[in-house]
Amino acid sequence: QVQLVESGGGWVQAGGSLTLSCAASGTISRRNAMGWYRQAPGKQRELVAAMWSGGYTNYADFVKGRFTISRDNAKNTVYLHLAGLKPEDTAVYYCRAWGPDEYWGRGTQVTVSS
């Protein structure tokens, strides 16, 4: 059974940065895609960034140029570096792995104050 555990969330002032980590216990195939989603209060969960095997990445328009996704296959860990944070980035950030099975972490809170 695979578990995903996020860490690195916290409180930061606008313009600041954070790095989130998602560590997978169990075996995550390198063929699995991994990504980050977020959900703000009262809003639907939305894709932030994703990375497929081979290094292909996809970012939501609202984070392009500010956030960077990376992956360390040896550590079964995916990272999300958040820079230039804005109050509207405040949300719970979730890690997801998929293909063929799907896994979700429990999330880590990111709070950005103005």
Higher pLDDT among residues 66 and 74, named by residue: 66
- The predicted pLDDT at position 58 comes to 95
Averaged pLDDT, 92-114: 94
Can you tell me the distance from the alpha carbon of 5 to that of 43, in angstroms, rounded to the nearest whole number?
23
Confidence of residue 81 (pLDDT cuts 50, 70, 90): very high
Confidence of residue 97 (pLDDT cuts 50, 70, 90): very high
pLDDT at position 29 over 90? no
Confidence of residue 31 (pLDDT cuts 50, 70, 90): low
Question: In percent, how much of the chain has pLDDT > 70?
Answer: 96
Measured CA distances, 51 to 9, 14, 28, 72 (Å): 20, 26, 14, 11
pLDDT at position 36 over 80? yes
Q: Which two tokens stand for residue 96?
A: 């997801």
Averaged pLDDT, 18-27: 90
Averaged pLDDT, 2-16: 96
Q: Taking the chain, what is the end-to-end CA distance rounded to the nearest angstrom?
A: 40
